[in-house]
Amino acid sequence: MTRPAQVGLLDPATHAWLTRHALPGIRLYEMDPLPGGFTNDMALLTARPSGAPDAERYVLRRYRPHSGRVPRNTCAVEIAVLGRVAARTVPVTAVVAADPYGRATGRPTLLYRFVDGIPLSQVLADGPAKGEARELGRAVGAVLARIGRVRLPRPGAFADSSLVPAPDGTSPLGDLPGFVERCLAGASGGPLDGTDATVLRELARREARTLAAVSGERSLVHCDFNPKNLLVERRAGRWEVAAVLDWELAFSGSPLFDVGNILRFAHEYPPAFTTGFVEGFRAGGGRLPRDWRRISRTLDLFALADILTAPPDPAYFAHARTVLHRTAADR
């Protein structure tokens, strides 16, 4: 079933770029908005390229201007990151075409192949059996270890598509207490109450010194390595990661950023998932220091501060608030 009205929503410049440059002679059948595009516009395209016997699916990603407190990579940088991790056998989407500076379409635009798979968040929510949960954890841990083996010249945010971080070599998020204060300063009228703000501020102040142990690390960090950005599938009866999505926050730093991210809601998952994750990460060459849980949870306070002061929805805020108080209680 085609949806010509949806296809017609494409602006003329983007339509021309798709049909003349990205996929010459393409015939578009459907265009459906994709969920989860909080900062960029995402659409699923169903099309038949010239000479292809069957219709194929692609994802069109159009970048919006961004000036938030968490730095985001440009289209050109994200393409470079995808190329770098693909060379390390990290499963990612294949780039078909790009207009990284918006010269043809008016906005930076990326077209890549659609990847079949199930979001890990959905599989975990369905309550997998102990053996399956451990297998999923091992697969995810092994992939994260491969990401962490991508080494950069120094820590920091990427200056351009060369993936050489800025010379100062500092975290793109800055110091933890300072970042928390910036988040709280912009949280007026939000759902975070005074007690929660005090807990967050005190945790950041008290735990900041913990991060000195990883301040000089220079591995590739995804920085949004959570179950909604991981597609999994069964291959030969076993769970494997089909693709790691959304690299717009990637930077150079400690892999424990991503460890804290994937285990943020571990209390809601089967315990075997965490066990398998640690096994897979270590087996893949990932290093977990003695106090890795404390360091990774502290690093995740950057993300928690952002979520709690600018939540995407009330349900996610409630989950994040629970994590905040669990972290405080563990200390």
CATH number at 118-330: 3.90.1200.10
Note the pLDDT tens digit of each residue in 83-128.
999 999 999 999 999 999 999 999 999 999 999 999 999 999 999 9
Per-residue pLDDT at 4 exceeds 50: no
What digits encode the pLDDT tens for the residues 291-331? 999 999 999 999 999 999 989 889 999 999 999 999 999 87
Whose tokens are 């994200």? That residue is 78
Confidence at 271, pLDDT banded by 50, 70, 90:
very high
34-61 pLDDT per residue, tens: 876 567 899 999 998 777 788 899 999 9
pTM of the full structure: 0.93
In this prediction, residue 70 carries a pLDDT of 82
Residue pair 274/137 in contact by the 8 Å Cβ criterion = yes
46 in Cβ contact with 72 (< 8 Å):
no
What pLDDT is attached to residue 268?
Answer: 94
Sign of the alpha-carbon dihedral angle for 10, 15, 18, 24: positive
In angstroms, rounded to a whole number, what is the distance separating the alpha carbons of residues 57 and 69? 34
DSSP 93: P
Q: Between the CA of residue 280 and those of 150, 179, 217, 291, 329, what are the distances in Å?
A: 17, 32, 21, 18, 28
Please give the structure tokens belonging to residue 329. Answer: 């209680």
Domain ranges for the chain, please list them.
Answer: 4-113, 118-330
Place of tokens 């291959």: 235
* pLDDT of the residue at 43: 93
Mind listing the pLDDT tens digit for each residue in 171-213? Answer: 777 899 999 999 999 887 789 999 999 999 999 999 999 999 9
300 close to 319: Cβ distance less than 8 angstroms: no
Q: Which long-range contacts (CB under 8 A, 24 or more apart) does 11-14 make?
A: 11/105, 11/106, 13/104, 13/105, 13/106, 14/60, 14/62, 14/105, 14/106, 14/109
Q: For the domain bounded by 4-113, which CATH number is listed?
A: 3.30.200.20
Q: Mean pLDDT throughout 226-230?
A: 96
Please determine, for residue 267, whether its predicted confidence score (pLDDT) is greater than 90.
yes
pLDDT of residue 172: 76
